[in-house]
């Protein structure tokens, strides 16, 4: 097994989940209605839990303790896509990001359920139900808001336009694609993107929204290599604030 | 209009004199009654309500409100407005008279045997 390649894959997945989980948790107590507040917060917790499971595997492969890895790194050591770092904005953007991200997340784990790297395949099988609910939640909101009032339709279309190139950036090709493919660990970002497109298009159509014109497609890259938006450093400082006070404290 | 940093206050559109803007159609969603089933084949039990604009979203919320902890295999949601209920003014229809007690399960002869056993074996 190519451990370096596996670590790269695990880090980008874990960081995506940790950061989107944190962002989505910022809605806790502020959600549009009580029921949705609970549902969205609960899914945010799931994401942090999924990140935790991956940090555990990384720890077994020789990396630091999960809490240390999650809370002690600065932005330039993180591997998340720019998409998950962006501030929440309004609920339209948060729902659109949830939709575009969670479809990719679900498919990535679906592909990894057959991975030759057993620990990852096990996590993928374990969280299958969680991901199914997340995607069901995202689809339901997207279709509802896309077919709602003039305002909700316009907001969702704007959110899609603004999200699109960031979403494409989730599929930034890594340095070890070939190694991961040849060892049957992961089929790769391009294969994932193709499946993702096939899955999201029917729901975008059902929501009467339009994917931006191909000519304007320009994936926003760099996150996987440690280059980030200005928002990430701020986020990691806030997220790790308490932990950094005393990293040796027992919880 | 009171402008608050808390979106829950801001979206209520509260005027300076504390009056609230009149509600429009989707401001208050209907309630749905939620029933969950712990095991396939068992009866669905009523567990509470959720607010939702349609069936799918009611299901979405019900799963997180009531199926998040503990075991569930299935959930039903039913619009509260679709429940046909008896009237509290008619609560007297449920009253029973003492001489109908032979129709209650407690009236079966077996109770005598159970009480006798309890007495003999000092079971409380």
- Chain A residues within an 8 Å CB radius of B61: 35-36, 38-39
Taking CA atoms, A40 is separated from A95, A133, A135, A146, B84, in Å, by 10, 11, 12, 19, 33
The residue among A31, A33, A35 with the most chain B CBs within 10 A of its CB, best to mutate, is A35
- Establish if B53 touches chain A: CB-CB under 8 angstroms: yes
Token readout for B64 is: 């997180």
Per-residue pLDDT at A62: 97
- Chain A residues within an 8 Å CB radius of B7: 30
Confirm whether B77 is domain-assigned. Answer: yes
C-alpha–C-alpha distance, residues A34 and A77, integer Å? 36
- Establish if B29 touches chain A: CB-CB under 8 angstroms: yes
Of A30, A35, A144, the CB nearest to B65: A35
* In the predicted structure, residue B108 carries a pLDDT above the cut 70: no
Domain of residue B83, residue span: 25-120
What is the 8-class DSSP label of residue B3? -
CATH code for the part of the protein at A3-245:
1.20.1260.10
pLDDT tens-digit readout, A188-243: 999 999 999 999 999 999 999 999 999 999 999 999 999 999 999 999 999 999 99
The alpha-carbon gap from A129 to the nearest alpha carbon of chain B, in Å, equals 12
Residues A34, B64: C-beta atoms closer than 8 Å: no
Number of domains chain B is built from: 1
- Classify B22 as helix, strand or coil: coil
Confirm whether B87 is domain-assigned. Answer: yes
Q: What is the complex's ipTM, to 2 decimals? A: 0.82
Confirm whether B4 is domain-assigned. Answer: no
CB contacts < 8 A, A to B, total: 36
- Establish if B52 touches chain A: CB-CB under 8 angstroms: yes
Domain containing residue B51: CATH number: 3.10.20.520
C-alpha–C-alpha distance, residues A116 and A12, integer Å? 19
Of A34, A137, A149, the CB nearest to B60: A137
Share of chain A above pLDDT 90, in %: 96
Residue by residue, DSSP assigns chain A as --HHHHHHHHHHHHHHHHHHHHHHHTTTTTSSSHHHHHHHHHHHHHHHHHHHHHHHHHHHTTPPPHHHHHHH--GGG----HHHHS---SHHHHHHHHHHHHHHHHHHHHHHTT-SSHHHHHHHHHTHHHHHHHHHHHHHHHHHHHTS-HHHHHHHHHHHHHHHHHHHGGG---TTHHHHHHTTS---HHHHHHHHHHHHHHHHHHTT--PPPGGG------GGGT---HHHHHHHHHHHHHHHH-TT---
C-alpha–C-alpha distance, residues A67 and A246, integer Å? 12
pLDDT tens-digit readout, A92-134: 999 999 999 999 999 999 999 999 999 999 999 999 999 999 9
Confirm whether B2 is domain-assigned. Answer: no
Of A35, A140, A141, the CB nearest to B51: A35
């Amino acid at each position: 097994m190519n451990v370096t390649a596996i670590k790269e894959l695990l880090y980008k997945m874990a960081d995506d989940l940790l950061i989107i989980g944190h962002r989505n948790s910022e809605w806790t107590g502020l959600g549009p209605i009580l029921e949705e507040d609970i549902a969205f917060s609960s899914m945010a917790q799931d994401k942090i839990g999924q990140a935790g499971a991956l940090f555990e595997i990384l720890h077994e492969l020789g990396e630091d303790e999960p809490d240390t890895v999650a809370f002690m790194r600065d932005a330039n050591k993180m591997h998340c896509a720019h998409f998950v770092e962006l501030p929440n904005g309004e609920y339209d953007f948060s729902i659109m990001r949830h939709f575009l991200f969670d479809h990719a997340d679900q498919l990535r784990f679906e592909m990894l359920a057959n991975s030759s790297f057993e620990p990852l395949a096990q996590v993928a099988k374990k969280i299958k139900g969680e991901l199914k609910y997340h995607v069901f939640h995202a689809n339901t909101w997207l279709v509802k808001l896309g077919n709602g009032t003039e305002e909700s339709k316009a907001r969702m279309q704007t959110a899609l336009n603004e999200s699109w190139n960031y979403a494409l950036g989730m599929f930034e090709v890594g340095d070890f694609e070939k190694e991961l493919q040849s060892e049957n660990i992961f089929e790769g970002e391009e294969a994932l993107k193709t499946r993702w497109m096939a899955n999201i298009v029917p729901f975008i159509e059902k929501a009467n929204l339009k994917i931006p014109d191909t000519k304007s497609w320009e994936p926003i890259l760099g996150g996987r290599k440690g280059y980030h938006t200005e928002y990430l450093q701020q986020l990691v400082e806030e997220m790790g604030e308490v932990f950094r006070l005393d990293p040796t404290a027992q919880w | 209009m009171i402008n608050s940093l808390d979106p829950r206050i801001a979206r209520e559109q509260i005027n300076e004199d504390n009056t609230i803007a009149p509600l429009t159609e989707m401001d208050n969603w209907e309630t749905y009654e939620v029933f969950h089933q712990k095991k396939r084949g068992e009866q669905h039990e009523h567990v509470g309500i959720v607010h939702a604009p349609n069936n799918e979203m009611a299901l979405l919320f019900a799963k997180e409100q009531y199926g998040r902890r503990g075991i569930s295999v299935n959930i039903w949601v039913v619009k509260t407005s679709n429940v046909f209920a008896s009237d509290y003014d008619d609560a007297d229809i449920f009253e029973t008279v003492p001489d109908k007690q032979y129709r209650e399960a407690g009236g079966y002869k077996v109770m005598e045997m159970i009480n006798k056993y309890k007495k003999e074996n000092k079971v409380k």
